A and B are shown apart, each in its own frame.
Chain A
Amino acid sequence: MTRLIVVRLLFGALTLWAVSLVVFAATQALPGDAAQLILGRDATPERLEALRDQLNLHEPVAVQYMQWLQGILQGDLGNSFSNGLPVAEYLRSSVQSSLALMGLAALVATPVSLFIGAFSALRRDRSFDHASSMGTLVVASIPEFVVGILLILALGPGGLGLFPSVYAREGGPEQWILPVLTLALAVAPPIVRMMRATMIEVLESEYVQQARLKGVSERTVLWRHAAPNAIGPVAQVIALQLAWLAGGVVAIEFLFNFPGVGKDLMDAIENRDVPLIQAVVLLIAGIYILVNLIADVIGLAANPKVRVANR
């Protein structure tokens, strides 16, 4: 099993490198070069030349890539075009806000969806099960920003007026409610479904029947025999959903004007701030790859066949 995990880790690193290549190549496809982007259209040729020298734009592309990659590995993501700040510094507070937002969404979504999933499994083919199955199907199909807008229309200033719909620096904690709720709704459905499916599978298994037959109380059957065996696949789905969050926050932060990496990305795109775009895309892809890797490892660790085979 260790060998499998090491292979996965190596492959993850390789993927990240490939992603960095794509991100760098994409910026090479820009019309005009970085110097032109920084100085704007009416820059004098002399100033352009000077800046090109300063940015090493005369070097071959491969050399530029190596320098860029080296910088990233040392934690130097370059300076923002629009305000000259180092990108790492610029992003620090928004990374924290985004992580807090994602963490809260996960904290809200996971226990609730585990509970709903398990309860649907116990009430299989009864009305609660049908309602939750229909509910997850509907919520899962609607794009998350649409869910967010529907929530704003219903609960925001135009509707019931319970919560503010736009994040403001001086606002209170209630402005977190709608973004967190939207993200939680976006990640919940697959977790509910997986929990329900694995619980049903486990409850029908022979060891659970055996436990019931020997007269163990239903509570012990559930918590000692059924639940631990249902955790593996469910944990994997939870990890995959968290990975999805890394990309999913962009539209939600844009919608609620939430000061996180997603909004930074949209601002950077607006200003054509290339180092910032590169940094945020790399960051999101990095988190995505990392969490996917964790999901894979959990999947491997939870699978007894794999766990025992290569010991």
Chain B
Amino acid sequence: MSGPSKNTTPKASVRRRPGLFRTAWRFGRTKVGVALTALIVLIAVLGPFVAPYTPTEFVAKPYETGVDGALFGGDNLGRDVLTRFMWGGWTLLLLAGSAAAVGVAAGTVVGIIAGYRRGWVDDVLMRTNDVLLAFPQLIAALLVMSIIGPKVWLIVAVIAVSHMPRVARVIREATRKVIEQDYVKAAEAIGLPRWRIMTVEILPNVTSPLLVELGLRLTYSIGVVAVLGFLGMGLQPPTADWGLMINENRQGMAVQPWAVALPVTAIAVLTVGANLITDGLSRAAIGIDRGVEK
């Protein structure tokens, strides 16, 4: 969460009233969200540098607990659970972050073009969107993974493609509101080329829904990357990855709960944190309680 949103901070709060981030920060839940997310990001980023062993080193018997020098015991093959936990986060963050970024970027391009150009361009883009939407996100990912095989770029691509139509819908709606405004008509009257109107006039004015979408898609991406790992269709062994770790150790959950509990808790905390930030952002964007009040 913090990575992509920090980059856009200066853009959103240069001028204008309190700005989206300032407003969002006023909600207590945003602060909690940032704290939770930061905690997990910190573990994921610093973990590999402070981990006591290497992720493929054998330090205990399979599923052994109470070993000296291995706080949380060994995993299904006897590797140190704590080490693998600390190594397993950054892959999830990287994959989920890039999938969300690519998906939101593509969706924004499609949404703005469809909303601005209207007519047949709009029709073709939106009908294609509807077909893409007809696939449940996870099923689409599983179909592609099972056919071509689990590859890192493919994971990112499939999740990004499944995000695209959902983002495009939202951005198209926002664009249609923006193009009613006088400044867009003025820009058209001056004869600015279409791509300039779309990038300079429209894009800066849809940043609020854009950021909310980014947060939402990031939360979903974390879920999908994790579930793919869990189903054995994400990163492959011997990579240390939270989703995969859950898959590898779930048979021994009753005797060695740590190997599952640590990654599961981390994923839960991370998604809750990301969603709290998103909720704060969307409340700030609407200015009110989720569209309940008009």
- Name A's B-contacting residues (CB within 8 A): 11, 15-16, 18-19, 22-23, 26-27, 29-30, 137-138, 140-143, 145-146, 149-150, 152-153, 156-158, 165, 193, 196-197, 200-201, 243-244, 246-248, 250-251, 254-255, 265-266, 268-269, 272, 277, 281, 284-285, 288-289, 292
Contact = CB atoms under 8 A, between A and B. Distances in A.
Nearest to A289: B134
A236 to B, nearest CB: 15
Interface string B151-195: 000000000000000000000000000000000000000000000
Contacts of B219: 141
Contacts of A269: 142, 145-146, 233
A158 B253 contact: yes
Given A143-B222, A251-B227, A269-B233, A165 B134 contact: no
B291 interface: yes
Contacts of A200: 292
A26 B143 CA distance: 8
Nearest to B291: A197
Contacts of A11: 130
Contacts of B233: 269
A22 B144 CA distance: 10
B260 interface: yes
Considering the complex of A and B, which 7 residue pairs feature the smallest CB-CB distances, nearest first?
A247-B136, A141-B275, A143-B223, A269-B146, A158-B254, A157-B254, A141-B271
Nearest to B226: A143
A154 to B, nearest CB: 10
29 contacts: A11-B130, A19-B135, A27-B147, A30-B147, A137-B29, A137-B279, A141-B271, A141-B274, A143-B223, A143-B224, A143-B267, A146-B223, A149-B264, A152-B253, A156-B254, A158-B257, A165-B254, A197-B291, A197-B292, A244-B136, A246-B136, A247-B137, A248-B138, A250-B142, A254-B230, A277-B146, A285-B136, A288-B134, A288-B135
A156 B253 CA distance: 9
A243 B147 CA distance: 24
A196 B290 CA distance: 11
A247 B271 contact: no
Nearest to A288: B136
Interface of B: 29, 130-131, 134-139, 142-148, 219, 222-224, 226-227, 230-231, 233, 246, 250, 253-255, 257, 260-261, 264, 267-268, 271-272, 274-276, 279, 290-292
A197 B231 contact: no
Given A150-B268, A285-B134, 20 more contacts: A11-B130, A22-B135, A26-B144, A141-B275, A143-B227, A146-B223, A146-B226, A149-B246, A149-B253, A158-B253, A250-B138, A250-B142, A251-B138, A251-B227, A254-B230, A254-B231, A255-B230, A266-B231, A277-B143, A285-B136
A255 B146 CA distance: 18
Contacts of B267: 142-143, 146
B138 A153 contact: no
A281 B139 contact: yes
A284 B264 contact: no
B275 A140 contact: yes
B221 to A, nearest CB: 11
A292 B134 CA distance: 9
A145 B224 CA distance: 10
A141 B274 CA distance: 8
Contacts of B135: 19, 22, 285, 288
A285 B272 CA distance: 29
B139 A137 contact: no
A245 B82 CA distance: 34
A67 B232 CA distance: 33
Contact of B142 (A27, A248, A265, A272): A265
Nearest to B144: A26
Nearest to B266: A146
Given A265-B142, A269-B146, A288-B134, A153 B292 contact: no
Contacts of B291: 197
Contacts of A292: 134
A273 B250 CA distance: 25
Contacts of A266: 231
Contacts of A288: 134-136, 139
A91 B277 CA distance: 42
A137 B250 CA distance: 27
A142 B270 CA distance: 9
A197 B292 CA distance: 5
B147 to A, nearest CB: 5
Which of A18, A145, A158, A285 has the most C-beta atoms of chain B within 10 angstroms of its own C-beta?
A145
B217 to A, nearest CB: 13
Contacts of B268: 142, 146, 150
Contact of B227 (A145, A201, A265): A145
Given A146-B267, A281-B143, A153 B260 contact: yes
Which of B224, B226, B246, B254 has the most C-beta atoms of chain A within 10 angstroms of its own C-beta?
B254
A292 to B, nearest CB: 8
Contacts of A140: 275
Contacts of B254: 156-158, 165
B89 to A, nearest CB: 14
A29 to B, nearest CB: 6
Contacts of A201: 292
